[in-house]
Amino acid sequence: MTPLRQRMREDLELKKSPESTVRCYLRQVQQFADYFGKSPAHLGREHVREYLLHLVRDKQVADGTYYQVLAALKFVYCITLGRKGTVEGIPRPRVPRKLPIVLSMEEVEAFFAALQSLKYRAILMTAYAGGLRVSEVVSLRVGDIDSERMMIRIQQAKRRKDRYVPLAKHLLTILREYWKAARPKDYLFPGTGKTGHITQQSVDYACKTAMRRAGLKKNVSTHTLRHSCATHLLENGTDVRTIQVLLGHSSLKTTAIYLHVSQKTLQNVKSPLDILHEEKTKGGKKKKS
């Protein structure tokens, strides 16, 4: 590891960045250095601009990837190298806000029925029941399941926040069945080694496999279960503010997107044309009498 790379890793650790962010930033900066065959310490603003144009024009990277690269370059130049001017004023594209894919209750049932492994059924049911991110599910420890208070504790989630979500009665039954079979000691869902938890990639693979077995045409991922949970809560009368707290969203604007995908919410909206017609009809009836 080069001294610059080591210094950048240490700076990220001082910021208490998640290990996934550390790996991502280091990888993006390494690819930037490899493109020019030089250390970022010997590259400047025009090199950053040229590389980003290469990603947009030649590689046609997704907006999310562009943001990752830009964030990594800003970190290494602003924090590690102390050269803020190198990346100052670099344009950021406006990312289109797309509505999330949501499963119906019947599709969720078919999805769970297609899961043949008790362990993965427990993992993905936990994700759906609590509206959890896959990173939060795999990081759960046995002690995070509080059966007395019927709560699940989520420790140091996104933006290093703790929160609690309700523990569904049916989920508790599934988790107890899984615990009796697996006897996990530390992490609730341990990996194949002696220590550590199951990987997100393993859960994603199991999710895709169950999707195909269930015959679902939608592009389902573990995050789809989180979206589906939020939407189903909204459709069953849970207010948006409560859903925000359950999901761990910092802004209510993020949670409000589920108002646009909730079928029941949209169906209950009365068109102003119907209101106008009803008022006109009422007025006509009054005149006639």
Query: Has 121 been annotated as catalytic?
Result: no
Indicate if 226 belongs to the active site.
yes
Cβ(30)–Cβ(5) under 8 Å?
yes
Which of 69, 70, 72 is closest to 17 using CA atoms? 72
Which residue in the block uniquely carries the two structure tokens 């250390």? 39
In the chain, what's the furthest Cα-to-Cα distance?
90
Q: Say which of 9, 141, 153, 223 is annotated catalytic.
A: 223
Which of 158, 163, 208, 213 is catalytic? The answer is: 158
Positive or negative torsion for Cα 171, 173, 174, 176: positive
* Polymer length of the chain: 289
Residue type at position 57? R
Catalytic residue among 25, 51, 128, 258: 258
Tokens of 185: 């000691």
CA 204 centroid distance within chain: 12
Query: Would you call 94 a catalytic residue per the annotation?
Result: no
Catalytic residue among 133, 197, 227, 232: 133
176 catalytic? Reply is no
Contact present, 106 and 84 (Cβ < 8 Å): no
Distance CA 77, CA 8 (A): 10
| 249 flagged as catalytic | yes
> Which of 119, 121, 226, 227 is flagged as catalytic?
226
The answer to whether 282 is a known catalytic residue is no
Q: Which residues are catalytic?
A: 133, 158, 223, 226, 249, 258
